[in-house]
């Protein structure tokens, strides 16, 4: 810990620099850009001054960012991982998804959404042959008055039992993801996989950072949802498995109590909701009733910005 206390003369010199840099953005024609850049400058300089950052530490930070850039490609976004593990992603989600009645809470988008997920009918199967224990998922989509939302588009995606999303295999498989629509009563249902825990990609600079500070890269078991409908705020969220030992130490801080669901274990050979023959395997089932806020509320801009680009 650097306990050096700068002299009044040194403090004045540092503060003069801050004001000079902040002032350099004063003529920005975009008022919002000016606000963001001036605030960013103040906070960055405050960080440097608080920890009395050394030049060696500054160089190490630049090297870290360079390494994150080198490992980032169309399938992997190391800067999103960094944002996630620092809690910035969740804080941005919180700021942009203000509480509205009993609307379902949002959580992190994650780096593995793809725009071209296949369409399935209600009751269809999203697994695409991915390994894992079958799970029946059902629920409703309503607005905050309780009225059903017919025709809501539901995107779902998840990792397989080995902890990998389809895009991580690099062989163009499509598995563990699909989109479907609610029926006239706002209901939906599909077969997926029982969620299992997995590590975020930890073979890059973010993984090294977590290791250096003694943090685990593991994510609590979850299933992703993105739900959109006319006149409604797009919801990006996941549901988590009650009883998962990682719920209180999810590596990206994505768990919220309202999103923890019961995944009921079903015995091998037991009757399924749609009569499907699971070949004598055990399975699970869960229910997730979704409530959408009206579109006049703040939207999840990250979801909109990343749609079609995150892999």
CATH class of residue range 78-306: mainly beta
On the question of pLDDT at 301 being above 60, the answer is no
pLDDT classification of 170: cutoffs 50, 70, 90: confident
For residue 58, CA distances in Å to 43, 54, 62, 153, 244 come to: 16, 6, 6, 46, 39
Q: Which one, of 15, 16, 47, 41, lies nearest residue 28 by Cα?
A: 41
DSSP state string for 61-104: HHHHHHHHHHH--SS--HHHHHHHHTTHHHHHHHHHS---TTPP
Report which secondary-structure segment, H or E, holds 188.
strand 187-193
Q: Give the pLDDT of residue 1.
A: 60
Domain positions in the chain? 1-53, 78-306
Selected residue with higher pLDDT from 143 and 75: 143
Cβ proximity of 222 and 252 under 8 Å: no
Dump pLDDT digits (tens) for 285-299: 999 999 999 997 444
Helix 78-85 and helix 205-212, axial crossing angle in degrees, nearest 10? 20
Dump pLDDT digits (tens) for 49-79: 999 999 999 999 999 999 999 999 877 889 9
On the question of pLDDT at 20 being above 80, the answer is yes
pTM score, two decimals?
Answer: 0.87
Dump pLDDT digits (tens) for 214-237: 999 999 999 999 999 999 999 999
pLDDT classification of 4: cutoffs 50, 70, 90: confident
Residue 227 phi, psi (nearest 5): -125, 125
């Amino acid at each position: 810990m650097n306990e050096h206390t700068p002299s009044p003369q040194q403090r004045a010199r540092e503060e003069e620099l801050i004001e000079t840099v902040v002032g350099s953005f004063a003529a920005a024609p975009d008022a919002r850009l000016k606000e963001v850049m001036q605030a960013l400058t103040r906070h960055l300089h405050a960080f440097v001054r608080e920890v009395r950052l050394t030049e060696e530490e500054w160089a190490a930070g630049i090297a870290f960012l360079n390494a994150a850039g080198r490992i980032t490609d169309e399938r992997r976004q190391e800067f999103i991982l960094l944002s996630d593990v620092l809690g910035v992603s969740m804080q941005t989600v919180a700021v942009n998804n203000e509480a509205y009645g009993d609307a379902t809470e949002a959580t992190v988008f994650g780096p593995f959404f793809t725009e071209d997920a296949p369409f399935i009918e209600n009751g269809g199967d999203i697994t695409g042959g991915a390994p894992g224990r079958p799970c029946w998922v059902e629920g409703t989509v309503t607005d905050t008055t309780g009225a059903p939302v017919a025709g809501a588009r539901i995107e779902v995606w998840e990792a397989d039992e080995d902890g990998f999303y389809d895009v991580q295999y690099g062989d163009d498989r499509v598995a563990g993801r699909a989109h479907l629509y609610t029926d006239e009563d706002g209901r939906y249902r599909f077969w997926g996989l029982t969620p299992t825990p997995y590590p975020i990609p930890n073979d890059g600079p973010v993984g090294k950072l977590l290791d250096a500070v003694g943090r685990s890269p593991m994510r609590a078991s979850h299933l992703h949802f993105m739900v959109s409908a006319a006149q409604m705020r797009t919801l990006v969220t996941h549901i988590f498995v009650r009883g998962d030992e990682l719920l209180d130490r999810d590596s990206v801080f994505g768990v919220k109590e309202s999103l923890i669901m019961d995944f009921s274990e079903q015995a091998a050979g037991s009757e399924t909701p749609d009569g499907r023959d699971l070949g004598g395997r055990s399975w699970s089932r869960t229910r997730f009733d979704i409530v959408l806020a009206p579109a006049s509320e703040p939207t999840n801009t990250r979801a909109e910005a990343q749609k079609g680009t995150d892999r």
